[in-house]
Amino acid sequence: MVMFVFLVIALVVVVAAVTLAVVGGGSRAVLPEAGPETVADAFPEDRPLARADVDALRFPVVLRGYRMTEVDDALSRLGAELAERDARIAELESARAGDQAHAVGGPGLLAPPPEPGATEEGPAGPQGEGEQR
């Protein structure tokens, strides 16, 4: 019976010592405070995005999924990059189409058409035709 009481007291002392060590029985904290988990480097700010940047993007999981502000920021950055690239592509395609039209039709391709009834000689017809009447 004495042995049983000794084991119970030893068990209580060990449990108390472990509890104090985990909780931090002193004035200093044993475990540091964990900060909120955030995206470390969502996208680089000094250059345009690349496919590898999008593939490497990972959002931290929180209680109800993902943080909406982090996802919204990433989507707005992607949308801005795509709009900028679409505008640049449209600009380059229109410049290319203009160069092709100039090369195929020559410089007079985009000139206004001549007025009806007017010829190269003038509006009255060939030279001298108006004088014979």
Q: Cα–Cα distance between 107 and 5 in angstroms, integer?
A: 110
pLDDT at 88: 94
What is the rounded distance in angstroms from the CA atom of residue 73 to the CA atom of residue 98? 38
Residue 37 makes CB contacts below 8 A (sequence gap 6+) with 60, 62
* Sequence-ordered list of residues with C-beta below 8 angstroms from that of 52, at least 6 positions apart, any chain: none
Question: How far apart (Å, rounded) are the C-alpha atoms in residues 93 and 99?
Answer: 10
pLDDT value, residue 84: 92
What is the rounded CA–CA span in Å between residue 54 and residue 43?
A: 8
- The predicted pLDDT at position 118 comes to 61
Distance CA(46)–CA(44), nearest Å, equals: 6
Per DSSP, helices labelled H in the chain are: 2-23, 51-56, 68-105
Which pLDDT score is estimated for 116? 75
From first to last of its 133 residues, what are the pLDDT tens digits of the chain? 889 999 999 999 999 988 887 776 566 655 666 666 666 667 878 888 888 888 888 888 878 888 888 888 888 989 999 999 999 999 999 999 888 777 766 555 556 667 776 665 555 555 555 555 4
Tokens of 122: 């003038």
